[in-house]
Structures are given as structure tokens and as C-alpha cells.
Chains A and B, each alone.
Chain A
Amino acid sequence: MKTVLKILPALVLALAAHARAINLLNVSYDPTREFYEQYNAVFARYWKARTGDTVAVQMSHGGSGKQAQAVINGLDADVVTLALAYDIDQIARQAKLLPPDWQKRLPDNSAPYTSTIVFLVRQGNPKHIKDWNDLVKPGVAVVTPNPKTSGGARWAFLAAWAYALDQYGHDEAKARDFVARLYKNVPVLDTGARGATITFVQHGIGDVLLVWENEAHLAIQEAGAGKFEIVTPSLSILAEPPVAVVDKNAGRHGVLTVAQAYLKYLYSDEGQEIAAKNFYRPRNSKLAARYANRFARLKLVTVEGQFGGWRKAQANFFSDGGIFDQIYQP
């Protein structure tokens, strides 16, 4: 009898679990569409096998800053997978939907994969673009989204700045002049990374696109061979797109455990492999080695090392009246 009593709740739980269909909302940035489409299917299979529950993950994509703003205003995200930590910090700070130390809850600064900014040029590289200093030459049209709304664009801006510092012996004024000249060559400023890619790929605007590494590979896949080439600059930035559970929302929906598992599984071999296949650089060293030939080797600087962290970089460069606004003054 006692054993029955012990087993019964477990049985009930198991039965209840069988009946459960779970909805998760993942609010993400632009270029992760294809990656999460695959990962969601894999995770659903994994979760079904482990618990019997059916998980349907719904996605919302957009510029990273814009997405964070939407979550602050009540977009009901269970997990956020954004382009940079500052945007999730804002969610923690303004809406208090997750603790301020969220970034310490998962390994590797909560960034299960990394990426960087590379150049996408037209086939044959007609403008002979090899490195950042080719972008400021007159007559070169550079396509990049608006750093005010796009995470990728902020990484790209900082990468250009880091290159200029490196070239001009850490002279801030010269770096500023360099980046200003670069943005003078920008004919289109889309709100998100995907919009910029469409402008460059579909509408034939510009000579070079500053783009997420994975987005560049994806664009080549989508457009077919023989139309675009990737150019890897000598130096770029180590982009760490972080992920986090939005505790309050997930808690309210009763999906905290699934949400945590969803993010944790990104670090598993299977998760890392899907990331690598979608041209995100895996953290897992075994998989990183296996897919090493997919990713060009280049010098990568970090936001922490070069700019003193995102909060400082944001205030300095991208806030109202910051350096980005200043270089856009007439």
C-alpha cells in the first residue's frame, strides 16, 4: 500500500506530463531565424524523449535593441536570445524581469556560440576590398544597419573602431575620423541586420556589406554560388550573442524548467553542432575543432578588453548625442 501511495503521485505527474503541450516564446534578433528553426525542432524531439511533453517554440525576430524594447514593454518572452548583453541588461534593469546577474547563470558569459563581423562583397571583389581601410576609400558603398537599432551594426561599428585604434596607435581622434569617413560611404541604414542583407543581396545596393559571419554564409547559400564572396578582415570583434531565461514571464507561464533546459541544451553537442552548421562559432572545443575549417582565423578583440564592457560602449558610442550621433552631424 505504501509503495502504491508513493508511486501514485509520480504516476499522476507522469500522466499529467503526458498531457502537457508547452508553448515557449523565444524573442531573438534578426539572423538567427534559420538556426533556431532547426534547433527548435531538435530540442522538441529531445524534450519529448526526456519528459513526454510536446514543446512548440514560437519565434519573434527583429533588430536586437528593438526586440529588447518590446520585451520591456510586455512582449511575453520566456527566453531572449539577443545580439548583445547590453540589450538583456536593459530588460533586467528597466523591467526587472530577470536578475541583474543573469549573465553568470550560464557558462561562457551566457553566450553559447560566438560570431564576428566580416565583409560580404560581390563576386570577383570588383572594388578590391581586403580590409577595413578599403571601406573608407571614396567610391566604395558600404551597407550596414543602424547601430541605434541593430545589434550586429553595433558590433560592426566597434570592430571598425578597434581596427582604427590598432592602426593609428590608439589615437581616439583618428579612430573617430576613420569611422566617420566609413559611415560617409554608407548609402543605406536599415533597422536590422536582415534588412541590410536584403538591401545588399536582393536590391543590388552597395559594394560591401558589413555582416554577421553566419549571415554572410547564409546569404551565399540563399543567393546561390558565384554571386558573392566573403572577405575576412585582418581584425574584427568577438561577438558574444547572449541568451537568458526571462524568469518572471517563464515563471508566470509555468515553463521555467523547460525554458532553462532549452537554453542549456544549446551547450550540448547536438546544440553546438547545429550552431556550427549555421556558421555560429561553437564554444565546445571538440566541435570547434571539427568545424574549424568553416571559420576563418583572424584577430578578435572583445568589448570588455577594448571598450570596457557594453554599458560603457553603449553610453559612449550609441546613446543620444553619443559618438555615432556626432559623426552624423552635417
Chain B
Amino acid sequence: MLLSRQRRVLPGFRLTLGFSLFYLGLIVLIPLVAVFAKTGALTWERFWHAAASPVALGAYRLSFGVSFLAALVNAVFGLLVAWVLVRYRFWGRRLMDALVDLPFALPTAVAGVTLAALYAPNGWIGEWLAPYGLKISYTRLGVFVALTFIGLPFVVRTVQPVIEALDLEVEEAAATLGANRFQTFRRVILPALFPALLTGFALAFARALGEYGSVVFISSNLPLRTQIVPVLIMSKLEQFDYAGAAALAAVMLVVSFLLLLAINGLQWRTARHHQQT
């Protein structure tokens, strides 16, 4: 890294940057390079065979599809929750506000066993649905429930501050100009919230893609039907197939990295947009 030639009054640049780079390299980069190196040992053909086998394709489809749906539901309900928490006053609001972060603080294994028990045919929620033939635990719906749970805080927490910062005068102006409340929401509020909503959606999506702990308990882990990519990687690990696991892991690493770039770009643009207006 090139240092810009500025006069530095503050001490410790070399030390802190050096330590950061060393630590980053040791803890994060070397292990990740190992994954790609393992993939590099494969011929292109074998890589393709492992990364694009029907079972793998089924897992991608499920992982991306269900993560997308879960993030979508979180976008809708996260917006609703954020709106209600910011704009309305009601009993228990503060408690709910604090609880929103529960999925983040709760170990995923605990979330997994709890949700699995709750939505099983003999569970608190499952028993109400079972008579209608609706099964959740051990189906795709179960995967969906788990991924919705773990992604819940992201949209709420990205949208909430933006709603708090919204200027009421703009809404008033819209009302003065004859817009009804729904029109104001659609034309004025939603566009202002949209970038944050998209960011929250992307965060929830990224988180859902990598999730393992909660899903493994509530999913039936059937190849092509309810097996998500992290579970497939785990199962490859458990059956002597390191190269296959590495191929899948490399694909997912690239996807995560692209998502991360997209999210950063999105946030950067949002900030610039807001600073300009």
C-alpha cells in the first residue's frame, strides 16, 4: 500500500496498519486462500462436475430462492416494523425495539432447535397448522421460516434511522398539494426509504445465504428438495469429498464477495445521493 505523502502529526500509523494487515492476513486471508488453492488442485472439468452437479444446482436454487423470498418478506415486514416503531407510540414499544435484535444475539443452534420444535406437527404453532395439511418443520417452508428469522433485524435496523430522519414538512407539503396519505407514502416516503430498504434486503439476503446452524435443525436436508448449499458443503466434508466441498465453497465465497461489494456500493451511493440533495 502506498502512503500518501502527508505530514503526519499522529503517531502509530505504521504500527497499527502493520499489525492490522498481519492479523487480517493470518486470520482471514490465509485460510480463504487455502480454499481456493484446494479448488486450484482440481481440473476445470472436475471443478465443473462438483460445482455444477444436479445436487449442487438444486442446492443453489434452494439457497438463492428461499434466501430471496425470506429477504423479501423481511423487507416488507421489516419496513412495517420499523415504521411502527418510529412513528407510533404504544405500550411495549421499547421492549419490541430491543427484541428486534434477538436473532442476531441468539446462537443459531438455539434458534434452530427452538423453531424446529415450535413448527413440528406437535409443536405450539405446528399443531394448529397440521390439521390443514400444512407442514413447516422439515420442509422448504421450514428453511424459509429459519432464514426469515435470522434476517429479521437487518431491514428494520437499516430502515429505522432513515424513517427517523425523514422530514415531516415534506409530507405536509404533499398533503397540502392534495395528495392523500397513500399517495404520499408511495410517491414521497417510499422513494426516500428505498435505498435503505434495498441495503437491508441485500444484508438479509447475504446473511441467509450463509446460514447453517438454524437451518440444519429445521430442514429435512433432502438433496434437490430441502438441502441448502452450506448443508451440502457440510455433507461433502463429512463424506471424504474435500475437493467437492472446496469447489462449492469457492462458488459461495465469490458470491458473498460480490454481494459485499454490491452492498458497499449501494451504501456509498445512498450516502452520496443524500449528501447531494
Contact = CB atoms under 8 A, between A and B. Distances in A.
Within the complex, are A and B direct neighbours (CB within 8 Å)? yes
A65 B55 CA distance: 19
A273 interface: no
Given A149-B239, A188-B220, A203 B116 contact: yes
Nearest to A318: B239
A320 interface: yes
Nearest to A325: B55
A203 B138 contact: yes
B223 A189 contact: yes
Interface string A171-203: 000000000000000111111000000010011
Interface string B134-167: 0001100000000000000000000000000000
B45 interface: no
A320 B54 CA distance: 11
Contacts of A190: 220-221
Interface in A193-215: 199, 202-205
A278 interface: no
B239 A65 contact: yes
Contact of B54 (A94, A205, A330): A330
B36 to A, nearest CB: 19
A148 B239 contact: yes
Nearest to B122: A204
Contacts of B50: 320
Given A191-B235, A330-B54, A65 B220 contact: no
Contacts of B216: 191
B121 A148 contact: no
A328 B121 contact: no
Contact-residue bracket for chain A: 20 to 34
Contacts of A321: 53
Contacts of A205: 120-121, 137-138, 220
Contacts of B138: 187-188, 199, 203, 205
B244 interface: yes
Contacts of B220: 187-190, 199, 205
B120 A203 contact: yes
Contact of B223 (A63, A204, A328): A328
Interface in B201-238: 216, 220-224, 227, 234-235, 237-238
Contacts of A203: 116-117, 120-122, 137-138
26 contacts: A63-B238, A65-B238, A68-B240, A69-B237, A69-B239, A72-B240, A148-B239, A149-B238, A149-B239, A187-B138, A187-B220, A189-B221, A189-B222, A189-B227, A190-B220, A191-B234, A191-B238, A199-B138, A203-B116, A203-B121, A203-B122, A203-B138, A204-B121, A205-B121, A205-B138, A205-B220
Given A188-B138, A320-B244, A321-B53, 12 more contacts: A66-B239, A69-B240, A148-B235, A189-B220, A190-B221, A191-B234, A191-B238, A203-B121, A203-B138, A204-B121, A205-B137, A328-B55
Closest 5 A/B residue pairs (Cβ):
A66-B238, A188-B220, A203-B120, A149-B238, A148-B239
